[in-house]
């Protein structure tokens, strides 16, 4: 499959004397995790379709430092942050979009105190603004009438009070949005945050992602939508554990939109 993704880097743009409208911050998961790379590509396809002038940092991107900070390692975090801020500033970055709520939260809320002040948006907000400005149109396509439930990522929802943008997008697909019993501010974590993604869970009676998957399965969805690569992994594992991977897909909101457009 030849994909023909157009993904300029900041360095290339700079060489041509151009400044993109927005920097797409891919994040570690979106760069290296096989599942998350699909989300990255889906988002790029949409950006290409909507003719958004964007660029990535590529090899100049580094971890935001979020997992280090949440693990308690303020040194490692600040080293990363200050290096990233130097790169942003060198390219005179003003606006950043990212598909990872952890990157989003850290860039938006924790970089300013270290001198990095940018307009940071989550990709669901960005997609919504593309729709509202008419740069992108979507139709239900294959998702018309499907039951879709949305899992609120903690770092998008509770941490930054973004609940509606992803839901608005799902409804644009003419899908039936069904809410889990724990949703929005009452949502249950997928179990990955706070650096949990990188370690075995403490002893308990159940893993958090299983508990959360049960919440989702309860509403009998065709698709579980997420807006975070880590939630995606956790819920995919949960669905597999329940042997439901044949019936239920776990998809990022960007993938829903890209697929609806046959991108």
Partner 1 sequence: MQILSSILFIALAVVGISFFAINAKKIYRNIKLGQSVDRTDNPSERWKNMLLIAFGQKKMFSRPIPALLHLAIYVAFIITQIELIEIFIDGIFGTHRVFKDSLGQLYTFIISLIELVSLGALIATIAFLSRRNLLKLPRLNKEELLGWPKKDGNIILMMELVLVFCIFTMNGTDEALYNMGASHYANGTQGSFGFAISQHLGPAIFGSMSEGTLHFLERVGWWGHFAMVLAFLNYLYFSKHLHILLAFPNTYFANLRPLGQLDNLQSVTNEVKLMMDPNADPFAAPAPDADATPAKFGASDVQDLNWVQLLNAYSCTECGRCTSSCPANITGKKLSPRNIMMKTRDRLEEVGKNIDANKGTFIDDGKSLLNDYITPEELWACTSCNACVQECPIEISPLSIIMDMRRFLVMEQSAAPMELNTMMTNIENNGAPWQYNQMDRLNWKDEN
CB of 35 to partner 1, least distance (A): 11
One residue of 119, 185, 218, 240 binding partner 1 per CB under 8 A = 185
Residue 173 to residue 260: CA distance in whole angstroms: 8
One residue of 191, 221, 229, 238 binding partner 1 per CB under 8 A = 191
Residue 3 vs 92, nearer CB to partner 1 = 3
Q: Where are the beta strands (DSSP E) in the chain?
A: 22-25, 54-55, 95-98, 119-122, 147-150, 176-177, 223-226, 249-252
Instruction: Give residues 75-134 in contact with partner 1 (rule: CB under 8 A).
Output: 75-76, 78-80, 82-83, 105, 108-110, 113-114
What binding mask, one character per residue, do residues 198-237 give for partner 1 by CB under 8 A, x or -?
Answer: xxxxxxxxxxx-xxx-------------------------
Instruction: Give residues 43-62 in contact with partner 1 (rule: CB under 8 A).
Output: 56-59, 61-62
Using rule CB under 8 A, residue 13 touches partner 1? no
Question: Is residue 181 packed enough to be buried (19+ CB in 10 Å), middle (13-18) or exposed (0-12)?
Answer: exposed
Of 45-53, 121-129, 136-144, 196-204, the window that binds partner 1 (rule: CB under 8 A) is 196-204
One residue of 37, 94, 147, 244 binding partner 1 per CB under 8 A = 37
What binding mask, one character per residue, do residues 160-179 give for partner 1 by CB under 8 A, x or -?
Answer: xx------------------
C-alpha dist (Å) from residue 42 to 93, 145, 177, 254: 23, 22, 21, 6
One residue of 177, 178, 195, 263 binding partner 1 per CB under 8 A = 195
CB of 18 to partner 1, least distance (A): 18
Size of the site for partner 1 (CB under 8 A): 74
Q: Which token pair is 80?
A: 């990363």
Residue 250 to residue 225: CA distance in whole angstroms: 6
Residue 226 to residue 223: CA distance in whole angstroms: 10
Residues contacting 157, CB < 8 A, separation 6+? 163, 184, 185, 187
Q: Are 102 and 42 in contact (CB under 8 A)?
A: no
């Amino acid at each position: 499959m030849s994909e023909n993704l157009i993904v300029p880097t900041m360095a290339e743009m700079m060489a041509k004397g151009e400044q993109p409208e927005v920097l797409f911050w891919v994040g570690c998961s979106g760069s290296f995790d096989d599942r998350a790379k699909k989300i990255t590509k889906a988002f790029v396809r949409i950006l290409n379709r909507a003719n958004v002038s964007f660029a990535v940092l590529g090899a100049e991107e580094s971890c935001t430092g979020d997992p280090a900070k949440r693990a308690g390692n303020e040194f490692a975090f600040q080293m990363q942050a200050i290096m990233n801020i130097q790169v942003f500033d060198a390219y005179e970055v003003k606006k950043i979009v990212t598909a990872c709520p952890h990157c989003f939260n850290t860039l938006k809320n924790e970089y300013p105190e270290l001198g990095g002040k940018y307009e940071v948006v989550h990709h669901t907000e960005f997609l919504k603004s593309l729709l509202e400005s008419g740069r992108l149109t979507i139709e239900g396509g294959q998702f018309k009438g499907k039951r879709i439930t949305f899992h609120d990522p903690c770092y998008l929802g509770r941490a930054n009070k973004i609940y509606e943008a992803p839901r608005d997008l799902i409804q644009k697909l003419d899908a039936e949005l069904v809410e889990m019993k724990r949703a929005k501010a009452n949502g249950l974590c997928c179990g990955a945050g706070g650096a949990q993604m990188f370690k075995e869970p403490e002893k308990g009676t159940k893993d958090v992602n299983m508990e959360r998957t049960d919440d989702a399965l309860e509403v009998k969805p065709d698709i579980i939508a997420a807006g975070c690569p880590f939630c995606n992994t956790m819920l995919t594992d949960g669905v597999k554990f329940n042997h439901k991977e044949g019936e239920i897909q776990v998809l990022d909101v960007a993938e829903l939109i890209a697929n609806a457009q046959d991108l």
